[in-house]
Amino acid sequence: MKNLSFSYSKMGMYRECPQKYKFRYVHAIPELPKYYFAFGSALHGVMEFIYDPQRPSFPTLAEALAYFQNQWNQTTWEQKGYPSEDKELAGYAEGRREIEAYYQKHAATFARPLSVEMRSTLEVDGLSLISILDRLDYLGDGQVKIVDYKTGKTVQREPDQLYMYQKVVETSPAVKALVQQKDPAVKAVRVGQLAFYHLPSLTELTFERAPDREIVEFWQQKVLATADQIRAGQFSPTPSEQACRWCDYRNICPVFTGKDYTGPSGAAALPLLKGQPAPAPQKSTTVLPVAGAAQTLSDKIDRYGALCQEVQTLREEIINSLHAQHFTQHFGSRYKAQLTTTQKTVFEDREKVLALLKKYHLLAKTLVPTQSTLAALLTDPGVAQEVKDELRALCVTHREEKLDVEKTD
Ligand code: SF4
């Protein structure tokens, strides 16, 4: 029998929701691109570029930044999964910041690793276990250090991932061959240390090798047990608020459609598209344990929507009446309404603003070109007056009205 293609991320998806795994790996329906994966992948690429064992010397910061820019520009913001071009630009600025900070902290002590982005497929226990090791450092005496880069908001111990790495590294003939190139006397590879390196905060979390007993338990109770369930075709959905909220398959998921997905057929076969509202869970006579609760939720959402609409209409009527009578405040029998008008400066022509920032090398200074960071440039003593004048010419002033209503008794 053919080995089951397996990886840490596949196991994670199955354990999160077997139905989701089925959509992704049995029906082979791709998920939508996610900007955080694109960002992480770009920074992993830069780390690979920096530590590439084939390069005669380490790249300079300028070379690393140029490499990052080149890689980043290979795809559009939509392809990366960013919600807008502005957000993509902010991601790019954050990437540059992290690379610059990394160089500042580590450039003086860069050392040649054993391997970078080592992709291996380990045939073991009926599995083709695919793994990518971000960086392997040789510690001597057959011991290696596994470094895994993290680019999310925070980093925490993920025992399953650590166990998986340890199992792969200590079992893989490819890793052993690599170590023996360096040290032919080595008979067996052993993990000396595992590290999660968090690039946004330049923090390294290190872990000792896990005892063999824990690895055996993990392997049997999680990896092999999960693989058995997949082989047995057990793909019942396990809906949860957290999992379903971010799931791309809601519009074809039985929990939400009330019927089994039978394969690709027209639009229903596609994962949820960006900006497309999630379908309401269906009222169903079939065996959906959440259907009753889901319908109650749908009713509440409809009621809430209708109330919001009524509130909006009332708000507009009150503001119009206050204006008509030249009031800024007025009283009901139990509530007071206060109207506040403010002027807001907005940079609307994004293209012109970006061109100006590029022209005067201000992109790095704004880091993230939002309305407030752009407005801050207008009072920044480090920005020349003529640049401020050009920037100010791109401002549009809007009037904003705020209606506060509070109880008087
Ligand atoms: S919508 Fe929820 S239950 Fe359905 S596949 Fe996704 S995570 Fe699973």
Residue 269 has pLDDT above 80, yes or no: no
Q: Which two tokens stand for residue 20?
A: 């989701």
Q: What percent of the chain has pLDDT over 70?
A: 90
Full-model pTM: 0.66
Q: Is 50 in the pocket of ligand 1 (CB under 6 A)?
A: no
* Among protein residues, the one whose CA lies closest to atom 5 of ligand 1: 20
Ligand 1 atom closest to Cα of residue 20 = 5
Q: Give one DSSP letter per residue of 342-405, joined into a string.
A: EEEEEE--HHHHHHHHHHTT-HHHHSS--HHHHHHHTT-TTS-HHHHHHHHTTEEEEEEEEEEE
Distance (angstroms) between ligand 1 centre and the Cα of 10 equals 15
Terminal Cα distance for the chain, rounded: 77
Q: Is 17 in the pocket of ligand 1 (CB under 6 A)?
A: yes
Q: Is 272 in the pocket of ligand 1 (CB under 6 A)?
A: no
Tell me: the pLDDT tens digits for 86-142?
A: 999 999 999 999 999 999 999 999 999 999 999 989 898 999 999 999 999 999 999
Residues 131, 201 within the same domain: yes
Residues 321, 388 within the same domain: no
Tell whether 397 is covered by a domain: yes
Boundary residue ending a domain (259, 290, 325):
325
pLDDT for position 309? 84
Residues 290, 333 within the same domain: no
Ligand 1 atom closest to Cα of residue 244 = 2
Boundary residue ending a domain (220, 255, 274):
220
Please state the domain count of the chain. 4
Distance (angstroms) between ligand 1 centre and the Cα of 253 equals 6
Residue 272 has pLDDT above 80, yes or no: no
Tell whether 237 is covered by a domain: no
Ligand 1 atom closest to Cα of residue 237 = 3
Which structural domain range is residue 249 located in?
243-325
Tell me: the pLDDT tens digits for 206-252?
A: 998 888 999 999 999 999 999 999 999 999 999 998 899 889 999 89
Residues 139, 207 within the same domain: yes
Residue 276 has pLDDT above 60, yes or no: no
Tell me: the pLDDT tens digits for 255-266?
A: 988 888 877 654
Q: Which two tokens stand for residue 93?
A: 């600025």
Residues 304, 334 within the same domain: no
Site to substitute for ligand 1 among 249, 272, 282, 287, most atoms within 8 A of C-beta: 249
Residues 263, 318 within the same domain: yes
